[in-house]
Amino acid sequence: MGGEVSADQRKSDGMGWRVGVSIVTFFGALIAAILWLFFYAGSFNAYQNIAVVIVILLAFVAVMGATWASWGMKQGARWRGTSTP
């Protein structure tokens, strides 16, 4: 009994921290963009401000990709009927 793991439990392994990182990263990127545009953007031209916002978005996408890539690879292996170590 103690060693049995249900399919739902295996499917949700690692979901909690990934969801947490996703939420924190989303709001962190949003706050960073708002802070930049309201407090620091005045001394830069429009192109530099656009570049900073794009860098913030790229950092957000990079963190999301790194966070969810391993989960996606595990799910892909399960869908194909194989398992990963």
Report which residue type is found at 52: V
Note the pLDDT of residue 43.
Answer: 93
- The whole-model pTM stands at 0.74
Note the pLDDT of residue 34.
Answer: 97
Residue 4 inside a domain? The answer is no
pLDDT digits (tens, 9 = 90+) for 30-41: 999 999 999 999
pLDDT digits (tens, 9 = 90+) for 6-23: 655 555 677 899 999 999
Q: Cβ(25)–Cβ(60) under 8 Å?
A: yes
Q: Is the model's pLDDT at 48 over the cut of 80? A: yes
Residue 8 inside a domain? The answer is no
Domain carrying residue 22:
14-80
pLDDT digits (tens, 9 = 90+) for 66-82: 999 988 888 887 777 76
